[in-house]
Structure 1
């Protein structure tokens, strides 16, 4: 468990969450889990659903997810293997839905022209991509400890933040992950170097609440009472927001020309959203998908 300056109970919780993120972070893991979200499938069926993923990448991911306890493997013959979500894997699906909701709201999207209205609207994005890109922001080493420390401390200097999030490491080690979080609009720094969470960073509360509950084996109904990410009074309004962004992680995946509105349980595709880039925001902000 990574050492932090947070209370032991919070550090233990944080460790479970970061381990869960590391389990989900490898590229395509989320796609595999969502492919199996409806029913167990044989290897060839999974391969057909993820045609861009070669055997050399699909087979190891199935093995790792099985070892982690998220998948169950049933072998009928050497070339006839059935994969399905385990109980823990099925319990993870609502958590992935919460992560997808954050990504759908905050991750930058390409806009396309809506023929019906003549307005530009965000292009539909596979929900697995929203989940994977969100995890890519918070899974890197020290990212989540820094975000948790900021949630506890509020506005903080980098030095005090380093002492809380990574006390066994040199102070200067905080700047690289902190700068990345600033580039991704999860934290903001003022001219005096003091740091605080942005609105997007504070909106990670449901993500961390649900991850914490799942990692501890607790029901999601208890998630909102999290000791760090429990609801707090409304914060002062930020300056005009920009969408959080992240580097490309996957090649273009063919998607249907038209997509119905998202329904509960439909985890693969983002629902139609009316969120658009704020007026006056830069064409791109930081990293893009």
Structure 2
């Protein structure tokens, strides 16, 4: 996509109603050491349990994973499903809002494969 194509697609929504860039709140929502990696893993395999995420996100700590999952859940990008069985089972999956990020992650992956050896 060229700069001109981008401007044409974005059109008049380059700024939000309050005059801010619409990218800024998205970046703020996704910032953090582990959030993008958690979302990416859930794009690949969904649902996932806490232990599965911890295993693929080495060397993440339990606290860091718990905090990131809580923030992603608060932002409605993932959902936490707790099953009433013993032993307790909890799974995390993308919400519709989170699934809407799939094309974004695909584009980032393509860019990474092209420019990052």
Which category of TM-score, normalised to the shorter sequence, fits these structures? 0.7 to 0.9
- Secondary structure of residue in 2 paired with 1:26: coil
Structure 2 equivalent of residue 68 of structure 1: 75
Report deviation, 1:16: 2.5
Aligned to 2:56, which of 37, 49, 55?
A: 49
Matched with 1:30 is 36
Distance 1:87 1:9, change over 3 A: closer
The secondary structure found in structure 1 opposite 2:65 is: helix
**Matched-pair contact (CA < 8 Å) for 2:47–2:91:** yes
Unaligned runs of 5+ in 1: 1-7, 108-121, 123-289
1:43-82 deviation per Cα after TM superposition (whole angstroms, max 9, x unaligned): 1222222231110100000000111111011112594211
What is the 5 A alignment of 1:116-127? 122=117
Q: Give unpaired runs (5+ residues) of structure 2.
A: 1-11
Are 2:84 and 1:80 aligned? no
Asked if the contact 1:41–1:84 (Cα under 8 Å) also holds between the matched residues in 2, the reply is yes
SS, match of residue 36 in structure 1 = helix
Structure with higher helix content: 2
Distance in 2, Cα, partners of 1:60 & 1:86: 18
Within 5 Å, which residues of 2 pair with 1:1-289? Answer: 9-12=13-16, 15-37=21-43, 38-77=45-84, 79-107=88-116, 122=117
Which has more radius of gyration?
1
Equivalence for 1:147: none
Cα separation, 2, equivalents of 1:102 and 1:21: 18
Match of 1:220 in 2: none
Aligned to 2:6: none
Q: CA RMSD in A?
A: 2.3
**Alpha-carbon distance in structure 1 between the residues aligned to 2:88 and 2:67:** 16
Q: TM-score, normalised by structure 1?
A: 0.32
The separation in 1 between residues aligned to 2:27 and 2:50, in whole angstroms, is 25
The alignment's TM-score, normalised by the length of structure 2, stands at 0.73
**Aligned residue-pair number:** 101
Q: Kindly provide the CA deviation profile for residues 247-284 of structure 1, in whole angstroms up to 9, marking residues without a partner as x.
A: xxxxxxxxxxxxxxxxxxxxxxxxxxxxxxxxxxxxxx
Q: State the 1:98 CA deviation.
A: 1.1
